[in-house]
Amino acid sequence: MIVERVRVPEALVPDRDQWPFTVPVVRSLIGEGLALDRAVTFVVGENGSGKSTVVEALAEAWGVDVRGGRSDSRWSSPLEKSALGRVMKLDRTPMGARLTGTAARGYFLRSETALDMFRRFEPGDPAFRDVSHGESFLQAFDSHVDGRGLYLLDEPEAALSFSSCLRLMGTLADVVETGGQVVCATHSPVLTALPGARILEVGDHGVRAVEWADLDLVRHWRSFLEGPEGYLRHL
């Protein structure tokens, strides 16, 4: 483990009535915050639930540009940190305390900006050229998501087929074996089935740990695949 808790000190909250502090999952970070007690944590929730907001702020707190890349990559136009990123604190393990400054190792991949990131940071690498969108994601995982570090993923399944999601699961398992830590926002019932991972479901209730079989997204996918007509008739 590298980061064992994510929190926002009460004194640093500028205004609870202003976004993003009105979002239940963000409010749950105020005070004691959220414990990260597994090497892989999946954050699951509907669109607008705040899962990406939290993962992006976690990237900023770790020192990675919110547009994506390695912790030592620098975009030509720096961005000001988000309201949450400015106040988020990371409680590090002894290992994590050694991964600071130039020694910090991490990677943030978000689906919306991934192609721009590949062009900017990997312009001459044939691994990222002349391949499909999904294949470029897998190349990024293979090239940068390995070893001891904090790896942050925002809906990586957006570009991946079923078999590619299984391949990514194998990569995440390898990260755990080498002492890395992963936090991933996702809608994927495939990725969240990774053995040993912690699944946090976010929504109007805030955040709660849920077993894979009890996830809303798993129950909905299972019901849809067993009888799509039950959903389609309402369209």
The domains located in the chain, with CATH, are 3-232 (3.40.50)
Q: What share of the chain in percent tops pLDDT 90?
A: 57
In sequence order, the 6+-apart residues with CB closer than 8 A to the CB of 152 are 55, 58, 59, 62, 64, 106, 107, 108, 109, 182, 183, 184
Express each pLDDT in 26-43 by its tens digit. Answer: 999 999 999 999 999 999
Beta strands in 25-73 (DSSP E): 34-35, 40-44, 69-70
Express each pLDDT in 187-209 by its tens digit. Answer: 999 999 999 999 999 999 999 99
Residue 205 burial class via C-beta count within 10 angstroms: exposed 0-12, middle 13-18, buried 19 and up: exposed
**CA–CA separation, 50 vs 203, rounded Å?**
8
Angle, CA 35 vertex, CA 31 and CA 38 arms, to 5°: 170
